[in-house]
Amino acid sequence: MKKEKFSPDMSLEEREKRLLEMSDEEIDLSDIPELDEEFFKNTKLVERKPRTEAISIRIDIDVLQCRHTQILHLTG
């Protein structure tokens, strides 16, 4: 059974639900051109400064486990 296409009047939640249910093979890429050498001929690498910084902290294991449990509960 083929799923309906995405319609412009669908809610973002419905679009996300349908997209998550799709396999890679079900995604139609036929209207997207292949990226070849010609495409990359005039491209430039843009390096940006990171807006994050790596840090290291020490935290009690029970606090970490509690927070992990809270996050799992929130994300389902």
Domain ranges of the chain: 1-28
Average pLDDT rounded to a whole number, residues 23-52: 88
Q: Enter the DSSP assignment of 59.
A: -
Average pLDDT rounded to a whole number, residues 61-66: 94
Please state whether the predicted TM-score (pTM) of the whole model is above 0.95.
no
What confidence score (pLDDT) does residue 7 get? Answer: 84
Give the tokens for residue 70. Answer: 């809270």
User: CA 54, CA 68: separation in Å to the nearest integer?
Assistant: 20
Contacts 24+ apart (CB under 8 A), 53-61: none
Average pLDDT rounded to a whole number, residues 35-43: 89
What confidence score (pLDDT) does residue 65 get? Answer: 93
Average pLDDT rounded to a whole number, residues 17-41: 88
